[in-house]
Amino acid sequence: MSRLIGAVALVTGGSRGIGAATADVFASEVRQQHIDRTPLGRLATPQDVGRAVLSVVTDLTATTGAVVPVDGGRPLG
């Protein structure tokens, strides 16, 4: 586990931007069903992902070996 020291993963789920390739697998109807079941009620935006990155590098400096989901409350899969 020592290789995870200082490592943090951001998981974007079906966001636009970074996660667009994954989200594009869904047909528009299936995508809307996913959005409707997402607590946030929308897909994460590139700005949401950017805010998460900024938070990790500025506020969560003692966080290590963590996975930070940026998925609106409903991960894909």
pLDDT range class, residue 13, cuts 50, 70, 90: low
- DSSP lists the bridge partners of residue 76 as none
Is residue 9's pLDDT more than 60?
yes
Query: pTM of this prediction?
Result: 0.59
Domain ranges across the chain: 2-69
Mean pLDDT score across all residues of the chain: 74
